[in-house]
Amino acid sequence: MIGGSWLRAAGGGAGGIRRRIAILGCILGGAAALGGEGTPPKRSAALLQRGKATYAIFCVACHGERGAGDGSVAPTLNPKPRNFATERFKQGAAVGQIFETLGKGVPGTAMVKFTNLSDEERWALAWYVLELKQGKPGP
């Protein structure tokens, strides 16, 4: 919490309210620019390629090359990894929800939180997972 000092510094009246709104907008806008949340980057071939490369490193062992949940370690996991094309995404299937899942993991499963990935890598991976969900092999 920032505290009340910024409210007092902004002053009262209509002008003070506008200043408070402007200050709050700067604070919130700055936080969104620094964090990974907010508006996802536009889907592009370059972004999908980066997502595919990240997927090959961190996801293929569990989810398999095409996201069918048939990776080399899948038989040893309980519950089994999700088949992106046929199974429901527990935490949502929108790109922003997949991005969040990559950052938080899925409790009770082998799906860990990927805190080692940058926001850019997580967005790219989220877009690539959506491609696999739609049955597309990616770039």
Q: How many residues does the chain have?
A: 139
CB 99 within 8 A of CB 51: no
pLDDT level of residue 1 (50, 70, 90 thresholds):
very low
Residue of 14 and 112 predicted with greater confidence: 112
Predicted local distance difference test score (pLDDT) of residue 76 = 97
44-58 pLDDT per residue, tens: 999 999 999 999 999
pTM: 0.72
The third-level CATH classification (topology) of the domain covering 45-133 is Cytochrome Bc1 Complex; Chain D, domain 2 (1.10.760)
Residue-wise pLDDT for 93-110, tens only, equals: 999 999 999 999 999 999
